[in-house]
Amino acid sequence: MTTNNAEELLSAYSPEDVLGYAKPVKTSLIIKGKLSRGIVEEISRAKKEPGWMLRLRLRALELFEKLPTPNWVIGLEELDLEELAYYVRPDVKEPAVTYEDLPPEIRDYYDKLGIPEMEAKLLSGITFQFESETVYHKAKETLEKKGVIMLPMEEAVIKYPDLVKQYFSKIYPIADHKFAALHYALWSGGAFVYIPKGVKVTEPIEAFFLIGQSLEGQFEHSLIIADENSYLHFIEGCSAPMLKRYSFHDGAVELYAHGGSAIKFTTIQNWSKNVVNFNNKRGIAEENARIDWIEGGLGSRITYTYPSSILKGANSSSSSIVIQMSKGPYVKDSGSKMYHLAPNTRSKIINKSISVDGGVNIYRGLVKINKGAVKARSHVECQSLILDDHSYAYTYPHNQVEEPSAIITHEATTGRIGEEQLFYLRQRSLTEQEATSLIAIGFIEDVMKDMPFEYVNILRKVIEIEFSKVGGLG
Amino acid sequence: MLEIENLAVEVEGKTILENINLRVNKGELHAIMGPNGSGKSTLAYAIAGKGGYVIRNGKILLDGEDLTRLEPEERALKGIFLGFQEPPPLPGVKLSTLIVAALNKRRGVKDLTKLSSMRDYKAILEGLEKVGLSKSYALREANVGFSGGEKKRAEILQAMLLDPKIVILDEPDSGLDVEGVAKIAEIIGELRGEGKGLLVITHYARIFKHIKPDKVSILVNGKIVAKGGGELAYKVDDEGYKSFS
């Protein structure tokens, strides 16, 4: 990141401050109206996709209509699907391969987020989605040389139908819940990555998703397949400018880690405060494979995210580290899920939440150890920090153990900043806000080491800024 | 110079201290001694400005400036340091981060947690050695899992590094072995030598076997019942507080 961009980003109060008010961007197609077969067919037609995908969409639509709204969903009173545009195609014919080819309005967002610098310094590939379509997509030569396939999802559907068919919706099932079904009926955009056997991609690949307008649905689908003994770090970033009304994000991520491979998947969620966010993520790990989820959730009005791993092969392992911050009248409902299906599988869940100014954090986690998952191990740690008396944190951990030789350990703590801690730090000359931010950063310090350095800096700054009233610390 | 004039302090509507008059000059060690519940810690908190310690009457002056209505952090910046009897654990906040933040704040550096000079880090490491803590304590979470004695060492370390005008130490020797007490006493002597005013609050005269106070005030039931020179500390040690009540 250049100093200018970094400073602008860091001194901002929220994504709204970086990106400003939503600006009109030329579109070439908008699909909206009452959700129906016709709408789904229209999306499929617009994408010129094969028949099997249309059939999958229509099956998903039927399921959406049948499935009840999950009883854990709260705060969706305002959501009216009929108001939403399900598909918005920006006026870009094909994904740009050079950044100069992007329409200036989109390029402006892209610049403000500091993405070109990050791309140059940090990444081996990037895909940038605006509204419903990928507008910029670039894989560095090193990726191609290694045989890595990295494509916008719809291009992969057309170019590699057999590979896609084998995995698409097989990891995150269509019928998982009502909004998963909705996602599959309407999906558009997202990234497809295939890493060949033995290939280690050392620089991360990033996908960035931006919602540009109110009353819009974004339903991107990312599918990552790591073949045997390969490695990939994938970073997902989400943001939106200031929207007059709400928008709806209902994306999905599917990971498949073949034998001995490892996938690290990092999400930095910084939607603006008007976005209702469903983030459906699941991965399957074969023998000796590893899946690491990391998620930092800063923005959105309400977020539902439950990174899940299915430990299918013996000796496979997974960790999920989720940090959620709810400041103001916002809700984060999250929780990692680990399914142990095989012997010697290991999982670790760390969930940390900070609630302040009326914010609410909810943890709903699950560790399921099947019979036969001999000597499976799981460790769950939930820590909540509540910074005032009108903010809340709730923890609902759930364990199902059918294997007697398995061991689950669980720690949960809910802390409030003590008067004594505040007075102590004030006696050391810090203001109450500086003291609070020091303790809040300290609270998540130990898990931030797993995040890319650039993001840690942003995260630290956002927290410091969130706790100072106007214009940064000091 | 710290002056306390006619101070009366109330906590939860109850009067704890009354008619307190004290003076701590530059380069002077002033001991406040008293039995449990006599209001010693209340005095320390009232000077530092803790919430809930209501000053009903009187004034606290530092070099002639009235601190009575200032926030705790403003008093700290003016030069008041309080070494806590029981410093609270700060999970996730490294001892070095705490000290760096306090140093940066004093210099007006915006980014509080960023080390602004390697000299600071060097000073922290040397300080740790001096107070008898290993260097690894720089990266330990402040007061988390510290023994009573380690907490006291970390408090006096901060008194050394933050360069205050007045150092108030509330029971600075509790939890320490003889060697530790001698070390704390030695550092108190050095701070006094640098011209700082020290107010050392203690029940027992143990620490004064290593360093003789310049003045002693005896606090019983919220009132100062006797004042004298250093000898008074040894008298209390021999006779207890009975003769003062």
Domain ranges of chain A: 16-424
Residues of chain A where predicted confidence (pLDDT) is lower than 50: 1-13, 469-474
Residues of chain A positioned with their CB less than 8 A from the CB of B81: 427
Tell me if B187 sits within 8 A of B131, measured CB to CB.
Answer: yes
Give per-residue burial for A44-62: e unless 16+ CB within 10 Å, then b. bebbebeeebbebbbbbbe
B236 shares its domain with B181:
yes
B192 shares its domain with B238:
yes
Nearest beta carbon to residue B76 from set A428, A438, A439: A428
Q: Is B81 on the interface with A (CB under 8 A)?
A: yes
B73 shares its domain with B173:
yes
Q: Is A152 helix (H, G, I), strand (E, B) or coil?
A: strand
Q: Is A434 on the interface with B (CB under 8 A)?
A: yes
Q: How far, CA to CA in Å, does A37 sit from each of A44, A58, A130, A182?
A: 11, 7, 25, 12
If one counts the domains in chain B, the total is: 2
B122 shares its domain with B237:
no
Q: How far apart are CA A381 and CA A409, in angstroms?
A: 8
B169 shares its domain with B215:
yes
Structure-block tokens of residue A309: 């791993």
CB contact under 8 A, B76 and A445: no
Task: Give the 3-state secondary structure of B163-203.
Answer: CCCEEEEECCCCCCCHHHHHHHHHHHHHHHHCCCEEEEEEC
For residue A218, the number of C-alpha atoms closer than 13 Å in the C-beta half-sphere is 31
A interface test, pick of B73, B85, B103, B166 with most A CB neighbours within 10 Å: B73
Q: Supply angle C-alpha A20, A24, A28, rounded to 5.
A: 145
CB contact under 8 A, B113 and A445: no
Q: How far is CA B224 from the centre of its chain?
A: 19
Q: How far apart are CA A279 and CA A334, in angstroms?
A: 10
In the predicted structure, residue B209 carries a pLDDT above the cut 90:
yes
- Helical H runs in chain B? 40-48, 72-78, 95-107, 118-131, 148-161, 178-193, 231-239
User: Residue A86 is inside which H or E element, if any?
Assistant: strand A85-90
CB contact under 8 A, A442 and B91: yes
B interface test, pick of A354, A385, A423, A439 with most B CB neighbours within 10 Å: A423
Work out the burial of residue A6: count CB atoms within 10 Å of its CB; fewer than 13 is exposed, 13-18 middle, 19 or more buried: middle
Q: Is B110 on the interface with A (CB under 8 A)?
A: yes
In one-letter notation, the amino acid at residue A259 is G
Q: Supply angle C-alpha A6, A123, A319, rounded to 5.
A: 95
Residues of chain B positioned with their CB less than 8 A from the CB of A441: 92, 113
B73 shares its domain with B193:
yes
Phi first, then psi: what are they for B52, rounded to 5°? 90, -10
Tell me if A64 sits within 8 A of A187, measured CB to CB.
Answer: no
B77 shares its domain with B181:
yes
Q: Is B217 on the interface with A (CB under 8 A)?
A: no
In the predicted structure, residue B101 carries a pLDDT above the cut 50:
yes
Residues of chain B positioned with their CB less than 8 A from the CB of A428: 76, 98, 101-102, 105, 158, 162
Tell me if A385 sits within 8 A of A420, measured CB to CB.
Answer: no
Q: Which residues pair with A291 in a beta bridge?
A: A263, A318
Nearest beta carbon to residue B73 from set A419, A426, A474: A426
Which residue from B minimizes the CA distance to A429? B73
Ramachandran region of residue B123, left (φ > 0), alpha (ψ -120 to 50) or beta? alpha
Q: Is A242 on the interface with B (CB under 8 A)?
A: no
B61 shares its domain with B94:
no
Q: Is A467 on the interface with B (CB under 8 A)?
A: no
| Among B residues 38-67, those touching chain A with beta carbons less than 8 Å apart | 48, 50-51
B82 shares its domain with B119:
no
DSSP letter at B55 equals E
Q: Is A6 on the interface with B (CB under 8 A)?
A: no
> What confidence score (pLDDT) does residue A1 get?
30
Phi first, then psi: what are they for A87, rounded to 5°? -145, 125
Q: Is B106 on the interface with A (CB under 8 A)?
A: yes
Q: How far apart are CA B195 and CA B26, in angstroms?
A: 5
The pLDDT tens digits of the residues spanning A53-70 come to: 999 999 999 999 999 988
Q: How far apart are CA A44 and CA A188, in angstroms?
A: 9
> What confidence score (pLDDT) does residue A12 get?
40
Q: Is A140 helix (H, G, I), strand (E, B) or coil?
A: coil
> What confidence score (pLDDT) does residue A454 get?
61
Q: Is B100 on the interface with A (CB under 8 A)?
A: no
Nearest beta carbon to residue A427 from set B48, B90, B111: B48
Residues of chain B positioned with their CB less than 8 A from the CB of A418: 88
Q: Is B208 helix (H, G, I), strand (E, B) or coil?
A: helix
CB contact under 8 A, A443 and B98: no
B97 shares its domain with B131:
yes
Torsion of CA B216, B219, B223, B226, to 10 degrees: -40
CB contact under 8 A, B141 and A442: yes
Structure-block tokens of residue B195: 């011209």
Q: Which range of residues forms the domain containing residue B132?
A: 90-142
Q: How far, CA to CA in Å, does B60 sit from each of B39, B63, B66?
A: 17, 10, 6
Structure-block tokens of residue A49: 């996709």
Nearest beta carbon to residue B92 from set A425, A426, A446: A446
Q: What is the DSSP string of A308-334?
A: EEEE-STT-EEEEEEEEEEESS-EEEE
Q: Tell me which residue of A343, A318, A355 sits closest to A440, measured CA to CA.
A: A355
Q: Tell me which residue of A294, A278, A320 sits closest to A181, measured CA to CA.
A: A278
Count of other CB atoms within 10 angstroms of residue A252: 26
Tell me if A369 sits within 8 A of A402, measured CB to CB.
Answer: yes
Q: How far apart are CA A267 and CA A278, in angstroms?
A: 13
Count of other CB atoms within 10 angstroms of residue B2: 24
Structure-block tokens of residue A253: 């991520």
B123 shares its domain with B30:
no
CB contact under 8 A, A430 and B73: yes
B178 shares its domain with B59:
yes
| Among A residues 276-335, those touching chain B with beta carbons less than 8 Å apart | none
| Helix A178-186 / helix A37-46 crossing angle, nearest 10 deg | 40
CB contact under 8 A, A429 and B98: no
The pLDDT tens digits of the residues spanning B122-147 come to: 999 999 999 999 999 999 999 999 99
Nearest beta carbon to residue B112 from set A415, A434, A443: A434
Q: How far apart are CA A335 and CA A308, in angstroms?
A: 9
B interface test, pick of A323, A417, A421, A427 with most B CB neighbours within 10 Å: A427
Residues of chain B positioned with their CB less than 8 A from the CB of A350: none
Give per-residue burial for A403-431: e unless 16+ CB within 10 Å, then b. beebebeeeeeeeebeeebbbbbbbbbbb
Torsion of CA B140, B143, B147, B151, to 10 degrees: 110
Which residue from A minimizes the CA distance to B80? A427
Q: How far apart are CA A170 and CA B161, in angstroms?
A: 61
Nearest beta carbon to residue B77 from set A419, A429, A474: A429
Mean pLDDT (chain B) is 95
A interface test, pick of B50, B71, B82, B90 with most A CB neighbours within 10 Å: B90
Tell me if B36 sits within 8 A of B14, measured CB to CB.
Answer: no
CB contact under 8 A, A430 and B50: no
Q: How far apart are CA B46 and CA A284, in angstroms?
A: 60
Which residue from B minimizes the CA distance to A434? B112
Nearest beta carbon to residue A420 from set B88, B91, B92: B88
- Reported residue count of chain B is 245
Q: Is A147 helix (H, G, I), strand (E, B) or coil?
A: coil
Q: How far is CA B62 from the centre of its chain?
A: 15
Nearest beta carbon to residue B93 from set A419, A426, A439: A439
Count of other CB atoms within 10 angstroms of residue A65: 13
Q: Is B71 on the interface with A (CB under 8 A)?
A: yes
> What confidence score (pLDDT) does residue A4 get?
34
Dihedral sign for Cα A109, A212, A240, A208, please: negative
Please give, rounded to a whole number of angstroms, the shortest distance from the CA of B242 to a CA of chain A. 33
